[in-house]
Amino acid sequence: MKFLVINPGSTSTKIAVFEDTTNTFTLNIKHTTDEINCFPRIINQYQFRKEFIIYALQKEEIDVNSFDAIVGRGGLVKPIPGGVYRVNETMISDLRKEIMGEHPSNLGGLLALEIAKEIGKPEMAFIVDPVVVDELCSLARLSGLPELPRLSIFHALNQKAVARRYAKEVGKKYEELNLIVCHLGGGITVGAHEKGKVIDVNNGLDGEGPYSPERSGTLPAGALVKLCYSGKYTFIEVKKMLTGKGGLVAHLGTNSAIDVESKINAGDEKANLLYEGIAYNIAKYIGAFATTMKGKVDGILITGGIAYSKILCDWIEQRVNFIAPVKIFPGEDEMIALAEGVHYALNGEIPILEYK
């Protein structure tokens, strides 16, 4: 089967062509700020981006009618269980209304359906594991304040793809395993995957969890309240401290793991301490999530861009390998994750779900 995969970003539209799960063509279409700023809302950009996609395919002499399915990055739809969803009018309506917020990924489903319609296959437009995947158990939703329930917002696409990949490697189904999956990037999320469902996970979008290159992680609550009411910072400035200017940026002035490792290799003890602190915090979350599955963990999977860091992964493994075997899946290939999801669904290995 042949798939067109579409992943809209803030100033780019990534497209890829897959034959089954083999990538045969990839292109990152760049959009200028002036082009993007012409549109009052992100959702209004879909026709503009669609024309770029069609033109790029024509230029490469790729027949758009040759695709068996079109796969878009899942946007901010309502919270749903993970899986492969057919794009329908209900989903399009929710994306247009921005019911969970405005984001470039909202264009993924819309572009997939528009191109699928153009080739006469509207039923072959899909999204896979959007960031709002919500499979939390009722206990995981609780916090000490009824006004502040815990939310499921995490790197669902990559976490689920890596979990399914690992299951295939060990000759089992994802739904048969208990796994802890850690996505290490600008933000860090740790998920407890119990028999195919992410029953607990930290909200990486808001900076909850381990601190990371750009996020503060979970902070001392009392001190945070005092900081908010100190009169020194605006709401926007505090939000930036939590996501964007927290973590390694706050301590070392960089969000680059490569830069930090260079400092460590040059003998910078502060950089070493702070970098190992990330591993220490990740390990704490892995240990905590092992308890959510009563210690029955089949594997610990580490993925994301910073999973290329051997020193960081070694620090984590040294603290958690008593729980379960550790396997590293470095990088975050969203395009292949999207293609794999639809490939599995169209082969009947996982169900195609309907968005309601």
Query: In the chain, where does the domain assigned CATH 3.30.420.40 lie?
Result: 2-134+335-354, 157-331
- Least confident window among 85-89, 271-275, 322-326, 329-333: 329-333
User: Per-residue pLDDT tens for 116-147?
Assistant: 999 999 999 999 999 889 999 999 999 999 99
Per-residue model confidence (pLDDT) at position 117: 96
Report pLDDT for 333.
84
Q: How far apart are CA 296 and CA 108, in angstroms?
A: 37
**How far is it, in rounded angstroms, from Cα 157 to Cα 133?**
9
pLDDT given for residue 36 in this prediction: 87
Do residues 338 and 218 touch, judged by C-beta distance below 8 A? no
Could you report the per-residue pLDDT of 266-285, keeping only the tens digit for each? 999 999 999 999 999 999 99
Render pLDDT for 145-201 as a digit per residue (tens, 0 to 9): 999 999 998 999 999 999 999 999 999 999 999 999 999 998 999 999 999 999 999
Domain 157-331 falls under CATH 3.90.180.10: no
Average pLDDT over residues 277-298: 98
How much of the chain exceeds pLDDT 90, in percent? 91
pLDDT band at 79 (very low <50, low <70, confident <90, very high): very high
Model confidence band, residue 55 (pLDDT cutoffs 50, 70, 90): very high
Predicted confidence band at 332 (pLDDT cuts at 50, 70, 90)? confident
The pLDDT confidence band at residue 34, using thresholds 50, 70 and 90, is confident
Q: Considering the entire predicted model, what is its pTM?
A: 0.90
CA separation for the pair 193, 52 (Å, rounded): 38
Residue 287's pLDDT band (boundaries 50, 70, 90)? very high
The CATH fold assigned to 2-134+335-354 is Nucleotidyltransferase; domain 5 (3.30.420)
Mean pLDDT for the chain overall: 95
Residue 350's pLDDT is what?
A: 94
pLDDT of residue 95: 95
Single-letter amino acid, residue 106: N
How would residue 241 be classed by pLDDT, with cut points 50, 70 and 90? Answer: very high
pLDDT at 288 over 90: yes
What mean pLDDT comes out for the span 209-225?
96
Question: At residue 103, does pLDDT exceed 90?
Answer: no
Determine the average pLDDT of the residues in 17-29: 96
Residue 196: per-residue pLDDT: 97
Write the Ramachandran bin of 244: left for phi over 0, alpha for psi from -120 to 50, otherwise beta: left
- Give the pLDDT score at 204: 84
pLDDT at residue 33 in the model: 83
